[in-house]
Amino acid sequence: MNDLKNMKNNDAETSKQYNEYVKTVTPTKNLWVQMIKAFLVGGIICVIGQGILNYCESLGIDKETAGSWCSLLLVLASVLLTGLDIYPRLANFGGAGALVPITGFANSVAAPAIEFKKEGQVFGVGCKIFTIAGPVILYGIFTSWLLGLGYWLLKMLGII
C-alpha cells in the first residue's frame, strides 16, 4: 500500500516537474507583435502584387490578363523563394501574413515537393506534393460544387 502511495507521489512530482519544464521551453509570443508582423508581411506581398498589376496595365494589358500575370509572377516568386529557403523564414517571421496570400499556397505546394525530392519522382514528389495543399484543394472544390448545386437549385425554383 505504501509503495502505491509513493508511486502516486512520485508521479505527481514528475508531472509537476514536467509542467514546469514545458513552461520554460515553450516560446511565448506577443499577440500584438505577431499581428503587426503579419500585417507588414501580408501588406508588402499585396503591394508587390499591386505593383505588378499597375505595371501590366501601364503596358496596355487589360485588367483580367494583368491579374493573371500578377498571380503567375507571385506564385513563381514564392516557389523560387521556397526553393532558396527564404520563404519559409519569411513565413516564420510573418505568420499568417505570408501564408494567407496566393504566395503561401504556392509555398505549401512547393515545400513538400522539395523536401521529398530525394525519395524519387513518384514516391517522393508525386505522393507528397499536395500533403499540405491537398485538403485546401479538396474542400475548396467540394464547397464550390455544393454552392453551385445550391445556386442551380435556387435558379430552377425561380428564387434567383
Confidence band, pLDDT 50/70/90 cuts, at residue 24: confident
pLDDT tens-digit readout, 41-88: 999 999 999 999 999 999 999 999 999 999 999 999 999 998 898 999
pLDDT tens-digit readout, 85-139: 899 999 999 988 888 778 888 888 888 877 777 777 777 667 777 777 778 778 8
DSSP 87-137: HHHHHHHHTHHHHSSHHHHHHHHHHHHHHTGGG-IIIIIIHHTTTTHHHHH
State the total domains in the chain. Answer: 1
For residue 134, is it within any domain? no
pTM of the model: 0.65
For residue 153, is it within any domain? no
For residue 66, is it within any domain? yes
For residue 152, is it within any domain? no
Distance between terminal CA atoms of the chain? Answer: 75
For residue 140, is it within any domain? no
For residue 52, is it within any domain? yes
The burial of 156, by beta-carbon neighbours within 10 Å (0-12 exposed, 13-18 middle, 19 or more buried), is given as exposed
Residue 41's CB is within 10 A of a number of other CB atoms, namely 22
Q: Cα-flanking dihedrals φ and ψ of residue 60, to 5°?
A: 90, 10
For residue 91, is it within any domain? yes
Residue 34 domain boundaries: 2-129
Report the helix count and the strand count for the chain, using DSSP H and E.
8, 0
For residue 89, is it within any domain? yes
| Structure-block grid coordinates of residue 128 | 507528397
